[in-house]
Amino acid sequence: MHKIQLERDKATLENIAFEIASLIEEMNDAKQRFNVRERGYFTPDEEMHAKRMFFKYRNFRAAVMEIIYNWKDFDTFEDEDTSAKAFILAFASAIQLYHWSSLLVEAYKGNDAIVSKLNEVDINLGIEGNLFDQIYRNVTRVEIQEELYNAAIFYEEKREWIETHLDDSFKQLLHSVDRSYTSIKRGSVDRWVTRLNRDMDITGRRMAMPIKDLWFNMQKMAIDFVGSIWLDTIPKIPQDHIKSFQELMQPGDFFIVRPESKSSTVLIPGWWTHGSIYLGGFDALQGAGFDNLENVSKNKDKLINESGDIIEALSPGVVFSKMYYSMSVDHAVAIRPLLNESDRRNSINDALSHLGKPYDFDFDIGRSDRLVCTELLYKSFHKKGGIDFELKSRYGRPTINADDIIEKVLTESQNFQVIGLSLKDMTAGTSNFYTKDAPKVMKTLG
């Protein structure tokens, strides 16, 4: 499991690094084109463009924070190869997060009109108030600068050990870190060191910092940027509920879920926040007669090797996941699209046709080369049988979120059947499983 997740998180970081370069360029270009300083206000098109860019940036940084969180316990792995990969991935994410945040601040600080706009609350986008100011404060805090500097010292000391435990794929990441690190050290880090040497005595304690203390500081630095990925302990649907889902579900059904304590839940508008499609693994697909579908046959080895119980769009892209991994949530509902055999086959084949596509951090449903979770459901089930999803305008473009899908499910019993609901009582800490009464219970949520 660690191997798969490491590869996925590395792919996420690489995808974001590729995309954010063009986003920063777009931000700088917009700064020149927007005549806001002289005019004193945004035109509607300028406002939407500025907020959409900031929204995409916010999604990038949340995804990078999740990578850092995933590997916060890198020093606990018994396998040194896993430990080395976890550290270089977490460190690369940390320095990139700081670097990108610094670029954002440099692009817009001093432009009061733009900063004021980026600090506004936007309920539709899920952007909290004063977010730009929060980023600005954090990238200039001496404590964070010291923490990252100490991590850099550790990296310099341990680089040879790290490299000996990396395969070729992760060595590419190491060399990328070297380039970024060298560039940052010439610029920002040199400025940090000048300030740190003046303001605080770090000599004598930076070299002796234990690994656990070092990582605590790296984790604290990242948490200070965006808030903890998990605001509490990581939840899990009860094992007997997972078993009930597996007994009730068929390939081509889908999940809609909600984790209460994940920071992305706060960021995503709506009560329900994520969707995925149930496959059941290759054996279940074969048992249902779907193993001869083009995209099932083509991905047979991946379905077997990666335990493809679920297909979903996560920050690494459209991937197979184990059922147990996908059930790290507080609430989950299983839904069956009421389709004939031909439409069900087509929906599964269509879902698997998107495997490997990058995640759509821009939430642009008009693009087919990258997807978010609800876009995967939309492109798999829309216009199959009587299913006709309606897109809603958000962020200046058509979208569909998990709440939209649930609304459709609860109002169109001729097209959907709710087959199971695991709902957690957040006060008592216990979960209940519903079948027949699930739709009635769902209408009380949100």
User: Do 317 and 358 contact (CB within 8 A), yes or no?
Assistant: yes
In a domain, 420, yes or no: yes
For residue 75, the model assigns a pLDDT of 79
> What is the pairing mode between strands 254-258 and 274-278?
antiparallel
* Residues 35, 146 within the same domain: yes
Expressed in angstroms, the distance from the first to the final Cα of the chain is: 34
Query: Helix, strand, coil: what percent of the chain each, to 5?
Result: 55, 10, 30
* Residues 218, 249 within the same domain: no
For residue 42, the model assigns a pLDDT of 77
In a domain, 43, yes or no: yes
**What pTM was computed for the model?**
0.76
* Residues 181, 313 within the same domain: no
In a domain, 231, yes or no: no
* Residues 221, 243 within the same domain: no
The total domain count for the chain is 2
In a domain, 393, yes or no: yes
Burial 65-77 (b: 16+ CB within 10 A, else e): bbbbbbbbebeeb
In a domain, 232, yes or no: no
pLDDT per residue of the chain (446 residues) written in tens, 0 to 9:
688 889 889 989 988 888 888 888 888 787 777 777 677 677 778 888 888 888 888 888 888 888 888 887 887 888 899 999 998 898 888 888 888 888 888 777 777 778 888 888 877 676 777 888 888 877 777 666 666 777 777 788 888 989 999 998 898 888 877 776 655 554 444 544 444 443 443 333 333 344 444 433 444 334 333 333 444 567 789 999 999 999 999 999 999 999 886 555 445 667 899 999 999 999 999 999 999 999 999 999 999 987 789 999 988 899 999 998 889 899 999 999 999 999 999 999 999 999 999 998 888 888 888 899 999 999 999 999 999 999 988 766 788 999 999 999 999 999 999 999 999 998 898 999 999 999 999 999 87
* Residues 160, 258 within the same domain: no
For residue 381, the model assigns a pLDDT of 98
Nearest-angstrom CA–CA distance, 256 and 269? 14
337 DSSP 8-state letter: E
For residue 292, the model assigns a pLDDT of 96
Provide Rg for the chain, Cα atoms: 23
AA letter at 353:
S
C-alpha separations of 144 from 137, 141, 196, 219, 263 in Å: 10, 6, 11, 10, 21
* Residues 288, 248 within the same domain: yes
Nearest-angstrom CA–CA distance, 221 and 214? 11
* Residues 259, 406 within the same domain: yes
* Residues 212, 304 within the same domain: no
For residue 228, the model assigns a pLDDT of 35
Nearest-angstrom CA–CA distance, 341 and 382? 16
In a domain, 312, yes or no: yes
Last residue of a domain, one of 175, 198, 226: 226
Nearest-angstrom CA–CA distance, 252 and 351? 9
* Residues 60, 200 within the same domain: yes
* Residues 153, 121 within the same domain: yes
Last residue of a domain, one of 226, 247, 274: 226
Last residue of a domain, one of 226, 257, 279: 226
* Residues 110, 30 within the same domain: yes
* Residues 304, 170 within the same domain: no
DSSP string, 76-127: G-SSHHHHHHHHHHHHHHHHHHHHHHHHHHHHHTT-HHHHHHHTS-BTTTTB
Question: 185 lies in which domain range?
Answer: 2-226
In a domain, 233, yes or no: no
In a domain, 296, yes or no: yes
CATH of the domain at 247: 3.90.1720.10
